[in-house]
Chains A and B, each alone.
Chain A
Amino acid sequence: MTTVRRDVWTLGSEQEPWDPVLLGYARAVAAMQQLPLTEPRSWRYQAAIHGIAGASPPPGAPWNECQHATWYFLPWHRMYLFQFEQIVRSFVPAGLGADEWALPYWNYSDGSPGDALPPAFRVETLPDGSPNPLLVPERRVVVNAGKPLPGVVTDVSAALAEQVFTESGFGGSTGFGGPRTGFAHQGPAFGALEARPHGPVHVWVGGAGGLMTDPDTAALDPIFWLHHANMDRLWATWLVDTGVNPSSQFWLSRSFRLRDAGGDRVRMRVREVLDPVSDLNYTYDSLPTVAAAERVAAMPRRRRPLLVAAAKEPVTVGRAGASVEIDATGLPEPAAAAAGREPRVYLNLADIEGEANPGVVYEVYLDPPEDPPYPAGAEHRVGVVSFFGIEQSTPAGAAASGRAAHGMRYSFDVTDLVNRLRSSPGWDPANLRVALRPVEGSEEEDAAAAGADRPIRIGTISLYQS
């Protein structure tokens, strides 16, 4: 039987938050939370598969296996959610439709009311008056109060516009799904979907010191699973509307360790999870029903981007943001040449390190007006960064998870914006400013919270021509 994952906002309302699906989820979460960390079907064990710091895994336990900033991001999380869904189903009381139970998804990108945390995750008690295990205090205060997530945080347009699944991301696009890597608990660069909305939603919901802000604690928040169900749905949507999966055997044959509904060891290969319906017996209530057109699954042409301008010094980003000037006179002049391939210009933030996430989502601007809050900001905004997973960027932080450290990297296509700027009278390539500013609302967090006094360091801010 094919189960259907539904939009969580169709399963309840402010007045009546408890649909049987969500009540079943709450009951299952409460039961799983009673089990010890070493029990594979326990809440904490399942979260530890995603990440856990400073704990020695039991022999054979697949802890700290989550894949980020890699082309395995989407398939690994699909496997993870699939097994988790089976485990939850085994805990859902029979009277709440256990046989058909499916993980809901949180579609925060289509405006009100879906852009707010679903009511069942905010109310204090279940219908019988017992504590609600879906309510987590370690979230941003305004999120738990039902305030909508900012549109710049949840925007999916840039991700869904990506044409290919994987690209290197070195000075250019990372593709929809992320750069080609090996096993990568924290790889070199985020794919477009992971860069936004995945990371920003994590950090916006968690805030400073919140569970969702850190990969080592994120899966302890019950909303994590609905957030990732939405990522999984967007992957399926992108495949129908736009792109194709990689055909590389490296990608298809990669396997990962998990635990199944009985708590037993299981390995899943990427090729075994590519079709949710035929491979895993689930679908979404909102997927287009038109079959995807036949497309050639090919690896993209290898691009050779050129670094044409860079900031001289690293930048330290505090809670208030940061600003730096780049001498971009090396950027080639516009030419009145005839048709051909259009070169793209990318803004690259690379060699990013930090000990802890400040819980702030930053908007990135290119050559903004002098004073914040930038009334013309949207025109100069190139994207957002959340630094989700920054804890893995330093050797000490990565060692706590038993993994290798990698600096973080973001890349933004700024071709159209640079074209516009060149046409404006104030264009000054010798002093091109790049600014990071907190998304409005970030300042509501307690500045003394975890990570607040440990800034992020961006080693290199540069412009590439690809």
Chain B
Amino acid sequence: MSDSLAVSTPAGTGGQVARWSTRPVPGAGLLGRWPELVPIAATAAAWACLALTGPATQPGAAHAGRAHAGPLAALPGAGGVVHLVAMTVAMTGLLAVPGARTAVFASSWWRRRRAVTLFVAGFFLAWTAAVLGLHAVAVALSVLAEPAAAGGALLAGCALAQLHPRRSRRAAECDRTMRIRPYGRSADLDCVRFGVVSAARCTRLCALPMLAMLLLPGSLPLTAALATLALVERVSRRRWPVPAALSYAALAVTALA
């Protein structure tokens, strides 16, 4: 069936019926029409990577064993970086979906694939940089305290943070959009900038559980639980702060047990 339809005869056209072409717009493509697929696919790939490599090489476990090896221990090795990136993408990838959609729909149709790619790149780069910083903090903390105890305490902090009166405002700021210029290199920069800013806003909400996870022994269930809690908070727009706080508290108790 064709997807064009005659519109009502407009005044002043002498009865001529105008029709709009609805030919598929060249270049928009699958990713242009469904930009969510980019962060979703990246997230799925990251989870697959984590599942294949197993919990023994999780970043938390990896750095904890090197905690007393001096300042250089704060820098993960090449394998560690790969795991950090995979963990970061796995945990935060779905949080990029609303921004990816905004970046694409605010961009000219012929730039959509480029827009979503640049946005997601900016988002993950910023998050990866943040996680590398958090990794250094985790190593420093693990020198000062038992990593599991520190991680558990941080999860307890996450529970309290859920009940903070300003958290709703912070969460709402995650949905703030930015102007994306329509054409040229400036449009590319806007997409990257939007990705970086979106990740920075995310970081304010999610840095604490991320740090806790870096301190605790690597565990896919824990990673999944924390990613789910962050996602539910975002999707539900903080409708269930008390259950979320209780969930974090339960994780804290488990970590400390």
**Same assembly:** yes
> Is B254 at the interface (CB under 8 A from chain A)?
no
Instruction: Taking A181-B237, A351-B178, A402-B169 as given, write out 17 further A-B residue pairs in contact, using a Cβ cutoff of 8 Å, ordered by the A residue number.
Output: A307-B106, A308-B108, A310-B182, A311-B182, A314-B179, A332-B25, A334-B18, A336-B19, A339-B4, A339-B6, A404-B169, A406-B172, A407-B176, A416-B7, A416-B10, A419-B7, A419-B13
- CA distance in complex: A306, B10 (Å): 24
Cβ-based interface call for B114 (8 A): no
Neighbour of B1 across the interface among A314, A340, A343, A422, CB < 8 A: A340
Contact assessment for B109 and A338 in the assembled complex, using a CB-CB cutoff below 8 Å:
no
Report how far A411 CA is from B29 CA in the complex, Å: 25
Closest to B108 in A: A307
- Picked from B2, B12, B28, the residue with its CB within 8 Å of the CB of A424 is B12
Is B238 interfacial (CB-CB < 8 Å)?
A: yes
- Given the known A-B contacts A337-B4, A403-B169, A406-B175, are A312 and B108 also in contact in the complex, defined by CB atoms under 8 Å? no
Partner of B106, one of A342, A350, A419: A350
Contacts of B7 in A (CB 8 A): 342, 415-416, 419
The yes or no answer to A444 lying at the interface (CB within 8 A) is no
Q: Which residues of A contact B105 (CB under 8 A)?
A: 170-171, 304-305, 307
| Interface SS of B by simple majority | loop
B5 in contact with A342 (CB, 8 Å): yes
CB nearest to B6 among chain A residues: A339
- Expressed in whole angstroms, the minimum distance between the Cβ of B232 and any Cβ of chain A is 12
What sequence of 0s and 1s flags, for each residue 291-335 of chain A, a beta carbon within 8 Å of any chain B beta carbon? 000000000000011111011101000000000000000101111
A254 → chain B closest CB, angstroms: 8
The yes or no answer to B23 lying at the interface (CB within 8 A) is yes
- Chain A residues 422-466 with CB under 8 Å of chain B are 422-424, 459-460, 462, 465
14 A–B contacts, CB within 8 A, in A order: A188-B175, A254-B239, A307-B105, A307-B106, A310-B183, A334-B18, A337-B2, A341-B3, A341-B4, A342-B19, A403-B172, A404-B169, A416-B7, A460-B179
A-chain residues with CB within 8 Å of residue B66 when the two chains form the complex:
none
Residues A307 and B107 in contact, CB atoms below 8 Å apart: yes
Nearest CB in chain A to that of B109: its residue: A306
The answer to whether the Cβ of A182 comes within 8 Å of any Cβ in the partner chain is: yes
Let me know if A134 is at the binding interface, CB within 8 A.
no
A21 close to chain B: CB less than 8 A: no
Question: From B4, which residue of chain A is reached at the shortest CB distance?
Answer: A337
Q: Which residues of A contact B4 (CB under 8 A)?
A: 335, 337-343
Nearest CB of A to B40, in Å: 15
Q: Is chain A's binding surface mostly helix, strand, loop or mixed?
A: loop
B179 touches A420 (CB 8 A): no
Cβ-defined partner of A182 (8 Å) among B2, B3, B170, B238: B238
Closest 10 A-B residue pairs measured CB to CB?
A182-B237, A404-B172, A337-B4, A342-B5, A310-B182, A335-B21, A459-B179, A351-B179, A419-B18, A340-B2
Q: Are A304 and B33 in contact (CB under 8 A)?
A: yes
CA distance A334 to B179 in the complex (A): 30
B6 touches A310 (CB 8 A): no
Residue of B nearest to A254 (CB): B239
A345 at the interface (CB under 8 A from B): yes
Q: Is A405 an interface residue (CB 8 A)?
A: yes
For residue B146, CB closer than 8 A to chain A, the reply is no
Cβ contacts under 8 Å, B34 to chain A:
304
* Cβ A407 vs Cβ B10 within 8 A: no
Q: Which residues of chain B have C-beta atoms less than 8 A from A305's C-beta?
A: 105
Question: Chain B residues with Cβ under 8 A from A337's Cβ?
Answer: 2, 4, 19, 21-22
Distance between Cα atoms of A314 and B190 in the complex (Å) = 14
With beta carbons under 8 angstroms apart, the residue of A188, A306, A341, A462 that contacts B177 is A188
Q: Are B20 and A342 in contact (CB under 8 A)?
A: yes
Chain A nearest CB from B117 CB (Å) reads: 17
Which of B16, B21, B172 sits near A333, CB closer than 8 Å?
Answer: B21
Minimal Cβ-Cβ distance residue in A for B172: A404
Whether A183 is near chain B, meaning CB under 8 Å from some CB there, is yes
